[in-house]
Amino acid sequence: MKTFPSYLVHLFTVSGVVFSFLALIASIEKNLPLVFFYLALALFVDGIDGSLARKVDVKEHTPNINGEILDNIIDYLNYVFVPAFIVYWIGLVPAGTELILSALILIVSCYTFANNHIKTSDFYFSGFPALWNVVILYFYILDTELVTNLLIICALSILTFIPIKYLHPFRVKHLRRLSLFALSIWILTTVIIVYFDYLNKTLLDIAFLIWIITNLYFIVLTIIRTFQDKKSST
């Protein structure tokens, strides 16, 4: 009977594939708010399935299933494949570059998922961690120009191979409470900006300002931790 909860956890993890497929359908329909909704559900699954797996000890009770491989497959679909398809299908980059840039996202992200040193000893990501779903979200919120999107995709592809430290809010112990608080505010303001655009303009402006501040927090922390590491290594 102990194997049953473990299989349930794996089934919960696999639900991320369904959300990925639904996000793909929404992408074909060019309904980005719906895409973000399904990708958010996939992120929710990804955020808690690890804790559930450890709680029921899936490695002990279902040794025939490699949960890490399963998780990586689903993450690649939601973090990389669907966003790459959006870049190609919806045309977020200049005409004629859609296929090249989508392929670039898919290829460099393979390195991210195959990189044995993607996480540092203090649980930061080393190099851009293939958060292309978030990048697409930023393109949508900021309504960036097509050329700007092209340059950002190229820059982040290069940063994939550069050992800059990117925060993992759930795993990094340093300032964890503050980081989780900032993440919660970021999620709340993102939801308001994307799904409640009919609200009073002043309220939307305030939400957008707070959203910018939370983004600055993560950017500044990334810069500080990267330079601290460089100083300690010299």
Cα distance between residue 169 and residue 131, in whole Å? 14
pLDDT at 2: 67
> Tens digit of pLDDT for each residue in 81-93?
999 999 999 989 9
Place of tokens 């999620």: 187
Q: Which of 106-110, 183-187, 194-198 has the lowest mean pLDDT?
A: 194-198
HEC string of 2-51? CHHHHHHHHHHHHHHHHHHHHHHHHHHCCCHHHHHHHHHHHHHHHHHHHH
Q: Is the pLDDT of residue 101 over 70?
A: yes
pLDDT at 153: 98
Q: How far is CA 145 from CA 65, 132, 157, 208, in A?
A: 44, 17, 18, 19
pLDDT at 55: 81
pLDDT at 1: 57
> Tens digit of pLDDT for each residue in 64-78?
878 788 889 999 999
Average pLDDT over all residues of the chain? 89
Q: Is the pLDDT of residue 57 over 60?
A: yes
Q: Is the pLDDT of residue 234 over 70?
A: no
* Residue of higher predicted confidence among 52 and 144: 144
pLDDT at 124: 81
- Helix or strand or coil: residue 116? coil
* Residue of higher predicted confidence among 107 and 55: 107
Q: If you average pLDDT over residues 24-51, what whole number do you get?
A: 91
Q: Is the pLDDT of residue 177 over 60?
A: yes
- Residue 231's pLDDT band, with cuts at 50, 70 and 90, is low
CB 118 within 8 A of CB 167: no
CB 157 within 8 A of CB 109: no
